[in-house]
Amino acid sequence: MFSNLDFSVVSNSLSYLFFEGMTFTLMLTAIATVGGLLLGTLIAMIRLSSLPVLPQVAAAYVNLMRALPLVLVIFLIYFLLPYVGQWVMGASRPIAVGALTSSIITFTLFEAAYFSEIMRAGIQSIPRGQVEAGYAIGLNYRQMMSYVVLPQALRNMLPVIFMQTIVLFQDTSLVYVLSITDFLGAASKVAQRDGRLPEMYMFAAAVYFIISFTASRFVQRLQARTAIVR
């Protein structure tokens, strides 16, 4: 059954697969994680605030993003962003937005919805007494969130944040719909070029499994360690 498989195509393409494909995958994962976490934390704070209207707007944004397939969001932002840019800048024609910029914006906005729920749960896990104590010693809302609530919430939710990052790492493979050369896209190009689809896709699956499994084991150990600290 496997006698016709030739994995030499893998060894001959390793530099292309990892230095171009995996580099982009890891870069997009890192940027979307940092951007999504920052934006998600802001959204979580807005949802928990007593401001008028804004908490409802933030909740609607989170529910919208979580209800749409990621690939659909990729297409929507890629095709609509040039027209949004035209409207904002008052240009006479749609603004050129590359696939790279579009993918970074898409994943950041999409992941922000999930990170916001993670951070909201983390903020709500902090005992109310600590918040009241912060106000009692003269801290304002910004100081109390910066020095008391968010550091503890971030530590409490760190394992969940890492798990969401693993999911994000896997989801970045969807950028192939924009013809971007991520790791899976690079494997697909080599597979079609050399006519070795089974070999390349088996190798790509193995790489994704090894990275995701190793990262998940790290998260499990981190979760056990933080549980002991508490």
Judged by average pLDDT, the poorest of 60-64, 137-141, 219-223 is 137-141
| Class of the domain covering 13-229 | mainly alpha
In terms of phi and psi (left: phi > 0; alpha: psi -120 to 50; beta: otherwise), the region of 143 is: alpha
Residue 186 · residue 224 · CB < 8 Å = no
pLDDT band at 221 (very low <50, low <70, confident <90, very high): confident
* 40-88 tens-digit pLDDT: 999 999 998 888 899 999 999 999 999 999 999 999 999 988 888 788 7
* pLDDT tens digits, one per residue of 98-118: 889 999 999 999 999 999 999
- Least trusted range by pLDDT, from 58-62, 128-132, 209-213, 215-219: 128-132
35's enclosing H/E stretch is helix 23-47
Domain residue ranges in the chain: 13-229
pTM above 0.85, yes or no: yes
Residue of 172, 168, 199, 202 whose CA lies nearest to 185: 172
Look up tokens 């976490």; give the residue: 37
DSSP state of 49: S
Distances (CA, A) of 40 to 61, 111, 117, 162: 11, 8, 8, 14
Please report the pLDDT score of residue 229 as a whole number: 47
Burial level of 65, CB count in 10 A (0-12/13-18/19+)? Answer: middle
pLDDT at 230 over 60: no
Determine the straight-line distance between the first and last CA of the chain, rounded to whole angstroms: 53
Whether 202 shows a pLDDT value over 50: the answer reads yes
